[in-house]
A and B are shown apart, each in its own frame.
Chain A
């Protein structure tokens, strides 16, 4: 049974810091892993998607890595800004790809000016 865990549950940092959010999963038989951002009261916005054959993906100040063998992914945010404050969720798509995402519970990030 696939389980996804995100640590820490909450994080508060001063503006400008580089930070790392962690995601772990128990079953390495995944199709891909996605990172999402959720602002309060809003839907989910896709940030990055890493296919199972890839090691990392980058978009602007965001870099996500994937290590299937250890069941871990990290989301690196460089030079954090107050606008990065949100909840970040990771989700895995199991092999077989039926569109069924399994989510972690998220990390709520606050970036203080």
Chain B
């Protein structure tokens, strides 16, 4: 009964490094998405997917890449980390009718 699992929970990166934030769900949801949460900005959509092999950009996609090869997994890649990407990242999955489940978040610091 895991729900949405995100790894790692915490990460510190140096500017220019790359990394992948992992997200997995075990509810067979079609829709998965990535958000970032920043003070005063709320949660903003980075990328989303409506099924395996289908992804699209959200409101703040620059500097991030996604792919969805399976229903269960939706990794988020930071191509070349910048201090502006310091944030808390949340992965979510949902049924087609919209009830959303969120992971516990990844707290990322870029120095």
Which residues of A line the B interface, CB within 8 A?
A: 31-32, 34, 36, 42-46, 49, 51, 89, 91, 93, 97-106
Contact = CB atoms under 8 A, between A and B. Distances in A.
Contact of B42 (A45, A99, A104): A104
Contacts of A103: 35, 42-44
Interface of B: 30-33, 35, 40-45, 48-50, 56, 58, 90, 92, 94, 96-105
Main secondary structure of the interface of A (DSSP, over half): strand
Given A99-B32, A99-B48, A103-B42, A43 B104 contact: yes
Main secondary structure of the interface of B (DSSP, over half): strand
Contact of B102 (A44, A97, A105): A44
Contacts of B102: 36, 43-46
A99 B31 contact: yes
A43 B7 CA distance: 13
